[in-house]
Amino acid sequence: MNIEEWQIYAARIEQLAADQGLKYHPVEFEIVPENFMTEIAIYGLPVRMPHWSFGARYIYQLIQHRMGLSRLFEVVYPGNPGRAYLAKSNSIAENVLVTAHVLGHADFSANNLLFRRSQAEVGEHIVEQAAAHARRISQAIQDHGIEAVETVLDAALALEQHVDIHQGLRREKYPERMPDRAPPAVDEFSQRYALLGPDTARPRISTGPAKRTPTPPHPEQDLLWFIAQYAPDLEPWERDIFLAVREESFYFYPVFACQIMNEGWASYWHARLLREADFLPQSCYVDAIKCHSDVVRPTAGSEQVALSTNPYHLGFSIWEKIIEQQGLEQARRIMSEDDDFSFVRNHLTLELATELELFRYEGPANGTLVVQDVDLPALHEALLSPKYGFGAPTVSAAHVHLDGRLDLLHDHVADGRGLDPERSRKVLEYIVRVWRRPVTLATVDGNEHGMEITVSPSLQLESG
Give, as ranges, the residues between 149 and 208 that touch other proteins (CB under 8 A).
154, 157-162
Our finding on whether 263 is near other proteins (CB under 8 A) is yes
Give the residue with the Cβ less far from other proteins, 52 or 279. Answer: 52
| Interface mask toward other proteins for 213-252; x: CB under 8 A | ----------------------------------------
Strands 439-444 and 82-87: unpaired
Which helix (H) or strand (E) is 130 found in, with range?
Answer: helix 126-144
Our finding on whether 414 is near other proteins (CB under 8 A) is no
- Nearest distance in Å: CB 210, other proteins: 35
Our finding on whether 461 is near other proteins (CB under 8 A) is no
Our finding on whether 417 is near other proteins (CB under 8 A) is yes
| Residue 322 phi, psi (nearest 5) | -60, -45
Residue ranges in 320-349 that form contacts with other proteins under rule CB under 8 A: none
Residue ranges in 294-323 that form contacts with other proteins under rule CB under 8 A: 295, 298-301, 303-313
Query: Of these, 359, 388, 409, 457, which contacts other proteins (CB under 8 A)?
Result: 359
Give the residue with the Cβ less far from other proteins, 81 or 174. Answer: 81
Do the Cβ atoms of 273 and 100 come closer than 8 Å? Answer: yes
Residue ranges in 86-105 that form contacts with other proteins under rule CB under 8 A: 88
Our finding on whether 379 is near other proteins (CB under 8 A) is yes
Give the residue with the Cβ less far from other proteins, 3 or 328. Answer: 3
Do the Cβ atoms of 102 and 18 come closer than 8 Å? Answer: no
Beta partners for 442?
409, 452
Which helix (H) or strand (E) is 6 found in, with range?
Answer: helix 3-19
Our finding on whether 427 is near other proteins (CB under 8 A) is yes
Give the residue with the Cβ less far from other proteins, 206 or 368. Answer: 368
Give the residue with the Cβ less far from other proteins, 1 or 323. Answer: 1
Give the residue with the Cβ less far from other proteins, 141 or 213. Answer: 141
**Which of the ranges 114-122, 226-234, 328-336, 360-368 carries the binding residues for other proteins, by CB under 8 A?**
360-368
| Interface mask toward other proteins for 436-455; x: CB under 8 A | ----------x---------
- Nearest distance in Å: CB 55, other proteins: 3
- Nearest distance in Å: CB 6, other proteins: 8
Alpha carbon 356 to its chain centroid, in Å, reads 27
Do the Cβ atoms of 51 and 152 come closer than 8 Å? Answer: no
Give the residue with the Cβ less far from other proteins, 323 or 392. Answer: 392
- Nearest distance in Å: CB 295, other proteins: 7
- Nearest distance in Å: CB 217, other proteins: 23
Query: Of these, 16, 22, 42, 434, which contacts other proteins (CB under 8 A)?
Result: 42
Q: Which residues contact 305 (CB under 8 A, 6 or more apart)?
A: 299
Our finding on whether 293 is near other proteins (CB under 8 A) is no
Our finding on whether 23 is near other proteins (CB under 8 A) is no
Our finding on whether 7 is near other proteins (CB under 8 A) is yes
**Which of the ranges 185-193, 224-232, 278-286, 379-387 carries the binding residues for other proteins, by CB under 8 A?**
379-387
Q: Which of 138, 74, 126 is nearest to 105 (CA)?
A: 74
- Nearest distance in Å: CB 175, other proteins: 29
| Residue 397 phi, psi (nearest 5) | -80, 125
Cα 12 to Cα 15, 30, 78, 93, 370, distances in angstroms: 5, 18, 22, 14, 49
- Nearest distance in Å: CB 207, other proteins: 44
Do the Cβ atoms of 238 and 436 come closer than 8 Å? Answer: no
* Geometric angle at alpha carbon 264, from 263 and 265, rounded to 5°: 90
| Count of residues of this chain found to bind other proteins when the rule CB under 8 A is applied | 110
Q: Which residues contact 415 (CB under 8 A, 6 or more apart)?
A: 393, 394
Sheet holding 82-87, edge to edge: 27-32, 82-87, 74-77
Residues 15 and 11: their CA atoms lie apart, in Å, by 6
Query: Of these, 420, 448, 458, 461, which contacts other proteins (CB under 8 A)?
Result: 420
Query: Of these, 218, 279, 361, 461, which contacts other proteins (CB under 8 A)?
Result: 361
- Nearest distance in Å: CB 121, other proteins: 23
Q: Which residues contact 445 (CB under 8 A, 6 or more apart)?
A: 418, 421, 451
Residues 424 and 420: their CA atoms lie apart, in Å, by 6
SS3 30: strand
CB atoms within 10 A of CB 385: 12
Do the Cβ atoms of 219 and 442 come closer than 8 Å? Answer: no
